[in-house]
């Protein structure tokens, strides 16, 4: 029997995305966002609100990177979600992580995160109920350690963090349960 839980954001898993930008002075800012998704073969949508320092930076410079957080950096990833760039001037520096300028867009790539999408701002969509930053994915960078023999990202090597909105936990993805566009063929 199912039990009513009321209004809760009941989507699982959610990604743990590290959105990195420069401010107008070239200072690195990174935020943790779970409310984001791919919305086309070369597009990503980030549901981040207007008051975020990151949103302001994206509006000013028109570029950002989105990295997949991994288990090895859960402490830093969580910190990027609990500290605000609007009132913590040395937010990035406190983590000890390394940022290098992307060679594709005007945004930082955080070396320690294994996969990074380099993005240019496509548009910001705002309605009464929705605010989303849409980016064109210009390039994806991945550490060789997370690639398989065919040069594709291997989720079992990635140890990507996933966010649990039910109990506010971080988990690791990676175990394969089936093959997309194949596992259901016997029901055709």
Provide the CATH number for the domain around residue 25. 2.30.110.10
Residue 7: inside a domain? no
Q: What pLDDT digit, counting tens, does each position of 88-98 carry?
A: 889 999 999 99
Give domain status of residue 1, yes or no: no
What percent of the chain is modeled with pLDDT above 70? 100
pTM: 0.94
In a domain, 22, yes or no: yes
How many residues comprise the chain? Answer: 188
Distance, CA of 145 to CA of 164 (rounded, Å): 26
Q: In whole angstroms, what is the distance from residue 142 CA to residue 152 CA? A: 9
Supply 155's token pair: 């989720």
Which residues constitute the domain of residue 103? 14-187
Per-residue pLDDT of 40-85, as tens digits, reads: 999 999 999 888 999 999 999 999 999 999 999 999 999 999 999 8
Alpha carbon distance 68, 76 (integer Å): 12
The count of structural domains within the chain is 1
């Amino acid at each position: 029997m199912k039990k009513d839980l009321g209004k809760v954001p009941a989507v699982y898993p959610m990604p743990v995305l590290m959105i990195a930008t420069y401010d107008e002075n070239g200072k690195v800012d990174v935020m943790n966002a779970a409310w984001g998704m791919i919305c086309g073969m070369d597009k990503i949508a980030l549901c981040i609100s207007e008051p975020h320092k990151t949103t302001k930076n994206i509006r000013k410079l028109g570029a950002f990177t989105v990295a997949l957080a991994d288990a090895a950096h859960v402490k830093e990833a969580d910190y990027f979600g609990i500290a605000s760039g609007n009132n913590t001037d040395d937010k990035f520096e406190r983590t000890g992580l390394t940022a290098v300028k992307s060679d594709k867009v005007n945004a930082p790539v955080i070396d320690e995160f294994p996969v990074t999408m380099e993005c240019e701002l496509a548009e910001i969509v705002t309605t009464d109920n929705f605010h989303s930053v849409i980016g064109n994915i210009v390039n994806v960078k991945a550490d060789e350690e997370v690639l398989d023999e065919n040069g594709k990202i291997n989720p079992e090597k990635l140890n990507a963090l996933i966010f649990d909105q039910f109990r506010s936990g971080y988990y690791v993805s990676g175990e394969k349960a089936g093959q997309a566009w194949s596992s259901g063929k016997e029901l055709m």
